[in-house]
């Protein structure tokens, strides 16, 4: 693999799921750092809002192999596989289609993204997967999501060994509940399932976090920024947990 600009210079960065939440915050931070940023997602309007005309925007379904290939018309120094979705439902009620869809967007999408990235990634490149504390423990009503996120860590740890000799690293960030639209959906799901008010539902969701609050996007961005930095060159195959001590 050829040497690129690398972590110390102006980097080419790809962030999937860059139209909202953590992906938006990550992309905007790389842009503020002076990097050339491409964001991908399903909704072009959300991508363009994130971009503000300063990032390349690609409408892509990361579960579609051909669509993922189309993102890689150039080599990237940093690839953040952030796209994902969560669905809460007990296993006994879960349709196979929902399980398969959850695995496809949260695990298969990471595999496709990283596989294509490696076709032309410069030495010193960074692969960063947005995993979850659900990668490290189970949870009632989270079987499909947790299974997929556990798979992401298996992929990251294995891929880290494969790419190590090229100077590329592959790591995962594992946040707890982050204050995003996805977390809001989880709150509403708990409210509906347990017939409780919003305040009670939010307290339940953060009850395992010793700090008793949701994590901010900026706190997750800091973890991504570190793993993409030159200082993290010997951190490989690692799950960086951002959970206030929950894990």
Q: Are residues 158 and 104 in the same domain?
A: yes
CB atoms within 10 A of CB 94: 16
Q: Are residues 30 and 82 in the same domain?
A: yes
The enclosing domain of 49 has a CATH number of 3.40.50.720
Decide if pLDDT at 229 tops 90.
yes
Decide if pLDDT at 8 tops 80.
no
Decide if pLDDT at 247 tops 80.
yes
Active-site residue set: 145
Whether 70 is covered by a domain: the verdict is yes
Q: Are residues 140 and 228 in the same domain?
A: yes
pTM value?
0.91
Q: Are residues 131 and 17 in the same domain?
A: yes
Please, is 123 exposed, middle or buried when counting C-beta atoms within 10 Å of its C-beta (0-12, 13-18, 19+)?
Answer: middle
Instruction: Determine the straight-line distance between the first and last CA of the chain, rounded to whole angstroms.
Output: 36
Amino acid 1: pLDDT = 36
Whether 200 is covered by a domain: the verdict is yes
Whether 2 is covered by a domain: the verdict is no
Decide if pLDDT at 117 tops 50.
yes
Q: Are residues 145 and 192 in the same domain?
A: no
Whether 195 is covered by a domain: the verdict is yes
Q: Are residues 22 and 99 in the same domain?
A: yes
Q: Are residues 182 and 172 in the same domain?
A: no
Structural domain including 69 reads 12-176+216-239
Three-state secondary-structure class, residue 115: helix
Q: How many domains does the chain have?
A: 2
**DSSP-assigned states of every residue in 7-48:** TTSPPEEEEETTTSHHHHHHHHHHHHTT-EEEEEES-HHHHH
Q: Are residues 95 and 131 in the same domain?
A: yes
Local confidence band at 185 (pLDDT 50, 70, 90 cut-offs): confident
Amino acid 204: pLDDT = 87
Could you tell me which residue, 192 or 181, shows the higher pLDDT? 192
Q: Are residues 156 and 198 in the same domain?
A: no
Mean pLDDT across 233-244? 97
Whether 3 is covered by a domain: the verdict is no
Amino acid 4: pLDDT = 40
């Amino acid at each position: 693999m050829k040497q690129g600009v690398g972590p110390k210079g102006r980097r080419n960065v790809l962030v999937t799921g860059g139209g909202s939440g953590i992906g938006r915050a990550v992309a905007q931070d790389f842009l503020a750092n002076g990097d050339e940023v491409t964001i991908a997602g399903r909704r072009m309007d959300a991508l363009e809002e994130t971009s503000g005309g300063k990032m390349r925007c690609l409408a892509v379904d990361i579960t579609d192999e051909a669509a993922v290939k189309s993102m890689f018309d150039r080599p990237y120094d940093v690839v953040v596989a952030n796209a994902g979705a969560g669905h809460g439902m007990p296993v006994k009620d879960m349709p196979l289609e929902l399980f398969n869809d959850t695995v496809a967007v949260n695990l298969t999408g990471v595999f496709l993204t990283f596989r294509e990235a490696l076709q032309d990634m410069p030495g010193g490149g960074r692969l960063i997967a947005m995993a979850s504390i659900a990668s490290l423990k189970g949870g009632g009503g989270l079987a499909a999501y947790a299974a997929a996120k556990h798979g992401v860590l298996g992929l990251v740890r294995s891929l880290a060994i494969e790419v190590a000799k090229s100077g590329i690293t592959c790591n995962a960030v594992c946040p707890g509940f982050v204050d995003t639209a996805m977390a809001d959906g989880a709150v509403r799901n708990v409210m509906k399932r347990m017939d409780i008010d919003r305040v009670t539902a939010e307290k339940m969701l953060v009850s395992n976090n010793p700090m008793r609050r949701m994590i901010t996007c900026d706190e997750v961005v800091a973890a991504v920024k570190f793993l993409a930095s030159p200082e993290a060159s010997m951190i490989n195959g690692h799950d960086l947990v951002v959970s206030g001590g929950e894990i």
